[in-house]
Amino acid sequence: MTALGAGLSVFGGAMAQQDPLADLLNSPQATPPEDNERVIPDNGPSSSDFPVAGRTVSQEEQDSFQEEIEEGTFPRLAPIFAPDYDPEDYIIRPEGSDDDELTEIEPVDEAEEEPVEEGDEAEPELDFEYMVQPAVTLRGLDKITGRSVDMDVAVGSNAMLGGLRVTVRACHQTPPTEPPESIAYVEVEDYGFVIDDPEELPEDVDMEKRVFNGWMFASSPGLNGLEHAIYDVWVIRCIDEAPVLSDADSEL
């Protein structure tokens, strides 16, 4: 062997001793556990605390388990029972009251409503009486021409307004101590044309021609007013003197 070859072998041996990978590959490795072996850590519970899969349960264990079920000693959750409920414990009484004395509350008698027959209307009770007046002042309006006229009509008489005959049956007024109000019961007939001689008309009201009957209120003309295409009539006031001539010709 030449000097060069001897030097290379010495250098190669030195390199082999200093290679860390060679030491890792040459060191013994731990054998991995087999599938049927169980690895239990050192600080864990013992293997006897866990059931082993596939282990055969002995007949004694089965009998012991069955006896626990039959005797009711098998471990289970303890039931929760409601406490004894006494309503007297939850009643708040004022100080100094006797528990044995209970104040009885008498039931309140509900007011019995009397049945209202059909056609009967509940009338408001008034603290005053209306004053009966002998006549009334009416105002008539022609909606086409815009002309208006005031008519003093006595109770029991009538006045003509174009083709309308207006008959007054009653007139009442509030006393001076109350807010002023005048109401009159009026009947209106529509003949459709101007009557030259009102005396030719029948004295009684023609029901076929009658277009309005009821109370008219001076303070609220639209509350119960006449509905007519041409004429309009409403109450102005009651008057205490009847006109000399209540049957007058039409002024419209």
Residues 69-109: tens digit of each pLDDT: 776 655 555 555 556 666 676 666 666 655 555 555 566 66
Q: 3-state DSSP call for residue 65?
A: helix
Q: Is the pLDDT of residue 132 over 60?
A: yes
Q: What is the mean pLDDT of residues 156-167?
A: 91
Residue from 239, 130, 226 nearest 186 by CA: 226
At 246, the pLDDT band (50, 70, 90 cuts) reads very low
Calculate the average pLDDT of the chain.
73
Lowest mean pLDDT among 135-139, 160-164, 191-195: 191-195
125: left (phi over 0), alpha (psi -120 to 50) or beta: beta
Instruction: Give domain status of residue 219, yes or no.
Output: yes
Instruction: Give domain status of residue 5, yes or no.
Output: no
> Is-contact 16 22, C-beta < 8 A?
yes
Beta bridge partners of 131: 173
Q: Is the pLDDT of residue 141 over 60?
A: yes
What torsion, rounded to 10 degrees, do the Cα atoms 244, 173, 179, 138 define?
-50
What's the predicted TM-score (pTM) here? Answer: 0.47
Summarised one tens digit per residue, pLDDT across range 39-71 is 555 555 555 544 555 566 677 877 877 777 776
Which of residues 95 and 33 earns the better pLDDT score?
Answer: 95
> Is-contact 218 186, C-beta < 8 A?
no
Q: Which pLDDT score is estimated for 59?
A: 79
Q: Is the pLDDT of residue 123 over 60?
A: no
> Is-contact 121 211, C-beta < 8 A?
no
At 162, the pLDDT band (50, 70, 90 cuts) reads confident
Instruction: Give domain status of residue 185, yes or no.
Output: yes
Instruction: Give domain status of residue 160, yes or no.
Output: yes
Containing structural domain, residue 232: 131-239
- Number of independent structural domains in the chain: 1
CA distance 42 to 56: 27
Q: Is the pLDDT of residue 235 over 90?
A: yes
Q: Is the pLDDT of residue 35 over 60?
A: no
Q: Which pLDDT score is estimated for 221?
A: 86
Q: Residue 150: enclosing H or E segment and its boundaries? A: strand 148-154
At 195, the pLDDT band (50, 70, 90 cuts) reads confident
Chain position carrying tokens 């959750």? 77
CA distance 234 to 76: 94
Instruction: Give domain status of residue 217, yes or no.
Output: yes
CA distances from 173 to 111, 131, 232 (A): 35, 5, 22
Chain position carrying tokens 């409920």? 85
